[in-house]
A and B are shown apart, each in its own frame.
Chain A
């Protein structure tokens, strides 16, 4: 396959995952509404919001980093996605998966938030700074069990290539990492709760507390870009988790089912729990999930 075709396919799959990620966001809003006894917005509401944000007639800026913040954020989302093989064995949905893609993806998950921190910092709003410091602290905390889990997985399969990890999980549900390395999956799923930032780990964009957090000053198409990235990044993370822990997907419907189920894990917990305090949230990740991750690492090593 030529590089042009590959790029074309990669952007096609990017479009697919963006639409799917935004639809998932819409479904989540609907679920939260139903849990609270409301009817809730239509499922396509995130698309309208993005259109509306992009159609603003005026806009303000605070400087170059303010411009670059959302750009870095979406680069992080697209970068994460571009190196994950989406559908196992499919040419169109294989993206730019290479031998060390797992490391690259781990880096890109961080990248967007760092860029956003710089941009939001230039916005100058106090709540932005509070949100950024909370976000970076929490990210550092949940990255520990996640990294331990991924290292344990790399030792277990002897590779840093996501495609090979997916290939090792083919052949029945019992060969999924979920059953071959349950401790690593437990640690990673708990750290995913922090990644998705629903309750009880919604300390970054804490509504009613530090309203909006980092994107406080962002409006118009900046916000549209951030909302678009929310779809891409959510999709990319879910696909990554599906690949690493739940046997990957061999077709689009299976991918949709599995990512939906993985997402619902954090959504249902989010709908049922109140918010942690900042320090409690960070301590939480560094205690039991880290211990589980260490144990998974130890078992994989032995």
Chain B
């Protein structure tokens, strides 16, 4: 799990992280309901207004361990290229690297996928789609951020249109550094993720539900044309 405080001041340029600890938000109704205030009045009833909840692991440890093993051995990747790093996913499917031997497979729809691979730089336009897709995935869900740009902005450090740390907007389980990382590096990142899942440490979904206000405030700060519900079920 990533220690958030440890990396807090890595990016002095990224202001939103510091200022939004106590947000005065417009989406809070109560513990279980969201306002969807940014949607037009007539559209609000089209969408679910449920707030994501923390779903604790099963208490009976052997069962939870078994389920975690199954989750780790059947990782379905959301095949959604969000940057140049996504090109490194293709070699993984070929005969040379072949991730299918680890039970991994690309899945074309976020509903069925369990791993979101952030492939490099994230522009504001892409971030909106990333948030939408990530929230549509059903938990437990995991995020692997590939390439330097997803970690600290990389060569887009000064860009007006690119966010620097994807970790401020959705919880990330594993980072793979490099520009570009070799397919071997990505593969090793996925194996690290499998290990984390099996150890029961990959609880990004619960982190997102727990710190929902913080993540949502960060997202809303940078995404100006917010025309979707507060949580995309």
Contacts and interface: CB of A to CB of B under 8 A. Distances in A.
Same complex origin of A and B:
yes
Interface stretch (B81-89, B97-105, B211-219): B97-105
A211 B109 contact: yes
A55 B20 CA distance: 35
B74 A219 contact: no
Nearest to A33: B100
Q: Chain B CB within 10 Å — which of A29, A58, A220 has the most?
A: A58
A60 B233 CA distance: 7
A56 B138 contact: yes
Contacts, number: 84
A49 B107 CA distance: 12
Contacts of B108: 207-208, 211-212, 216
Contacts of B179: none
Interface string B90-128: 000011001011010101110110100000000000000
A48 B109 contact: no
B73 interface: yes
Q: Give the interface centre of B105, B108, B139, B233 by most chain A CB atoms within 10 Å.
A: B108
A56 B67 CA distance: 9
A55 B140 CA distance: 9
Contacts of B109: 125, 211-212, 216-217
A208 B90 CA distance: 13
Contact of B74 (A39, A49, A60, A125): A49
A220 B74 CA distance: 13
B205 interface: yes
Nearest to A46: B74
Nearest to A39: B101
Contacts of A56: 138-140
Contacts of A42: 101, 103
A39 B139 contact: no
Which DSSP category, helix, strand, loop or mixed, fits chain B's interface?
loop
A215 B109 CA distance: 10
A57 B55 contact: yes
B140 A57 contact: yes
Contact of B73 (A48, A211, A212, A223): A48
A36 interface: yes
Nearest to B52: A58
A58 B103 contact: no
B98 A33 contact: yes
A36 B100 CA distance: 12
**Nearest 4 interchain pairs by C-beta:** A211-B108, A37-B95, A52-B74, A219-B111
Interface of A: 29, 33, 36-42, 45, 48-49, 51-53, 55-60, 125, 207-208, 211-212, 215-220, 223
Given A36-B95, A59-B138, 16 more contacts: A29-B100, A33-B98, A38-B95, A38-B100, A39-B101, A41-B100, A42-B101, A52-B114, A53-B112, A55-B67, A57-B55, A57-B138, A58-B55, A125-B109, A211-B108, A212-B108
